[in-house]
Amino acid sequence: MIELSHIEKRFGDAVILKDISIRIPEGSVTALVGPSGGGKSTLLRCINLLEIPTAGMIRLGEEKLSFAPGQKTGWQAIQKIRRQTGMVFQNFQLFPHQTTIENVMEGLVTVLRWPKEKARERAMELLTKVGMAHKADAWPSTLSGGQQQRVAIARALAPSPRVLLCDEPTSALDPELSAEVVDVLGRLAREGTTMVMATHDLRLASKIANDVVFLEAGSVVETGSARNIFTAPERERTKRFISTINAAHTYDI
């Protein structure tokens, strides 16, 4: 279970997140959707403490951490939360000087101190899972965007995190390459991987997510099942947002 309670995030006088409280069940996929600037990526980065909340509480598994203005958060406490998460970034963030398999092995060897052979076995297992075993010795610069993102997903999964966080995982890709990543994330969802994704891609959200959180101006407008949010939202603002998207696309839900 992931629980966020009364999360607030400020940058100076600007309030980016306002009193956010949500629960994310183990084994579920939750999509954070809404207009640009609504706070989706900031909220996602608060879960693994790449952004430290100004106030509120985060519970991830057995670990619980509270925040207050002016209160310093200890590094060890941050690491206890962060090590339970894997992060997939919008622009892949692969190390250009390492091969595909070395990218996936890096955290296991450097952070977790695994022996190289054990890390290599784990990396190959994950590259096989995302359909990239045949590119194990390739350099990132030789891979397509979709291939790079699949490697990034394997790297995020390497330490067996409790939750996989995806920040706009398809937004840097054209529709064909995006489909590769949607397929991989869909398979992970069917296997019971707990995921939280910030996305503008409502096709991705509608196909994969169990639950949806609609954010605007740093506040939660509406939450519910993916089916209800995309077919019968309750709030007028959510209806307008969904209808605007559906005017251009048809989504399979």
Residue that terminates a domain, selected from 160, 180, 195:
160
| Predicted confidence (pLDDT) per residue in 117-166, tens digit | 999 999 999 999 999 999 999 999 999 999 999 999 999 999 999 999 99
Q: Which of 21-25, 104-108, 238-242 has the lowest mean pLDDT?
A: 238-242
- Interhelix angle 145-157/100-110, nearest 10 degrees: 20
Residue that terminates a domain, selected from 102, 133, 160:
160
Residue 253 has pLDDT above 50, yes or no: no
Q: What gap in Å lies between CA 102 and CA 55, rounded to an integer?
A: 38
| Predicted confidence (pLDDT) per residue in 77-105, tens digit | 999 999 999 999 988 889 999 999 999 99
So what's the pLDDT on residue 158?
A: 94
**101-117 mean pLDDT:** 95
Say which DSSP state 239 is in: H
Residue that terminates a domain, selected from 107, 134, 160:
160
So what's the pLDDT on residue 17?
A: 96
152: which 2 tokens?
Answer: 């990034």
Residues 128 and 180 in one domain: no
Q: What is the average pLDDT value for the chain, to the nearest integer?
A: 91
| Predicted confidence (pLDDT) per residue in 175-184, tens digit | 888 888 889 9
The SS3 call for residue 32 is strand
So what's the pLDDT on residue 251?
A: 46
Sequential DSSP letters for 167-204: ESTTTTS-HHHHHHHHHHHHHHHHTT--EEEE-S-HHH
So what's the pLDDT on residue 50?
A: 94
Strand 195-198, strand 163-167: pairing? parallel
Residues 74 and 105 in one domain: no
Residue 27 has pLDDT above 50, yes or no: yes
Say which DSSP state 36 is in: T
**2-25 mean pLDDT:** 94
Which residues constitute the domain of residue 66?
1-84+162-253
So what's the pLDDT on residue 61?
A: 87
Query: Based on the structure, what is the number of domains in the chain?
Result: 2
So what's the pLDDT on residue 250?
A: 46
